[in-house]
A = this chain, B = another copy of it.
Amino acid sequence: MRITGTFLDEISHDIPHQNWGEAEWRKDFAAMKAIGIDTVIQIRCGHRRFITFPSKVLMEKHDCYLPPVDLTDLFLRLADEFDMKFFFGLYDSGYYWIHNKCQQELDISRAVADEVWQKYGHYKSFGGWYLCWEISRTYAGMVNLYHDLGMHLKDISNNLPTMISPCIAGIKCDPNNVATIEEHQRTWDNIMAGISGAVDIVAFQDGHCDYDELADYLILNKELADRHGLKSWTNCESIDRDMPWRFPPIKWEKMLLKLEAARKAQLDKAITFEFSHFISPNSMYPSAGHLYNRYKEYFGL
């Protein structure tokens, strides 16, 4: 099971920024392409006041800062150049959806999506939408947010695919509030029923449970997704969640265990969070470059 997609962690809220310009990003897209990555997912177009593109909606109505460079445009140009699909991540207010105000989050995102589609919808690489809010359990209003926004996105973009990437409520998520696999099943059966038709792809983050529990979760996720007509991808995290600081690149052995679990569950596709800090030879962390080499060796690339 190979990784063929990656998030682009802009705007980050907990990963240090690498301060790359266009030349560095182009070099990194080439490194992605070299190991078979065909899909890039901008993780969000904004978080609180920082945004990836000069959005009128976000600057005029939500006090966001004018960014020094239009990263969304840059990513789309590079995706065109390297023949990849680009998923656009929506805006995370960092406020409304976690304060029971999902309607406001929806209103903002609808306006942003309209602006984005008009501005960037012509790029041939524009291939989907990413609904950026990450949940592990039922969360007041989130099913409606996913559903109504998903329908709107598909409506304006000729039915482009929509994706979410939730967490498994395992021991590395909130150790004081771990869901059993039965709870996980009930929760996600309900959520998927509610978003079916509006969200096409569910790519669970694979880093919050223990390595030996993962295959069971992934098999279950696939069953649930199949039942509700969704595609099941895995978000094979390349950050190491077992270390004392957040986050170094993962140990290759751990990534391999997780890819094996995904293979066993016969998932449709593996993406990762994320290439540029944690697998790339261009990363600020040299151990990411060594992970790149281990990955290439293993798959004979």
Tell me which residues from 230 to 251 in chain A have a Cβ below 8 Å from any Cβ of chain B. Answer: 240, 242-246, 248-251
**CB <8 Å contact, B20 and A68:** no
Q: A residues 264-301 with Cβ under 8 Å of B?
A: 283-287, 290-291, 293-294, 297-298
A294 and B63 in contact, given A14-B243, A244-B245, A245-B245 (Cβ under 8 angstroms): no
Question: Known contacts A211-B49, A285-B284: does B19 contact A290 (CB below 8 Å)?
Answer: yes
Flag whether A17 is at the interface (Cβ < 8 A): yes
Q: Which residue of B lies closest to A23 (CB)?
A: B293
Q: In the complex, which residues of chain B have a beta carbon less than 8 angstroms from the beta carbon of A134?
A: none
Whether A287 lies near B284 (C-beta < 8 A) is yes
Contact of A19 among B16, B19, B65, B249 (CB under 8 A): B249
Identical chains in the assembly: 3
Given A246-B245, A298-B68: A18 in contact with B63 (beta carbons within 8 A): no
- Cβ B20 vs Cβ A290 within 8 A: yes
Nearest Cβ in chain B — how far from A124, in angstroms?
A: 28
Whether a CB of chain B sits under 8 angstroms from the CB of A21 is yes
User: Number of A residues whose C-beta is below 8 Å from B?
Assistant: 43
Contact at A253–B211, with CB atoms within 8 Å? no
A243 to B243: give the CA distance in the assembly, Å. Answer: 16
Q: How long is the Cα–Cα vector from A71 to B103 in the complex, in angstroms?
A: 54
With A49-B212, A68-B256, A253-B67: A287-B18 Cβ-Cβ less than 8 Å: yes
Residues of B within 8 A of A16 (CB): 240, 243, 248-249, 287
Q: Which of B68, B211, B297 contacts A21 (CB 8 A)?
A: B297
Contacts of A252 in B (CB 8 A): 17, 19, 68
The 3 closest A-B pairs by CB, nearest first: A16-B248, A19-B290, A17-B251
- Measured CB to CB, the residues of A under 8 A from B are 13-21, 24, 49-50, 63, 65, 67-68, 211-212, 240, 242-246, 248-253, 256-257, 283-287, 290-291, 293-294, 297-298
Known: A19-B249, A49-B212, A65-B211. 16 other contacts (CB 8 A): A13-B242, A16-B240, A16-B243, A16-B287, A17-B249, A17-B251, A18-B290, A19-B252, A19-B287, A19-B291, A20-B290, A21-B294, A21-B297, A49-B211, A67-B253, A68-B256
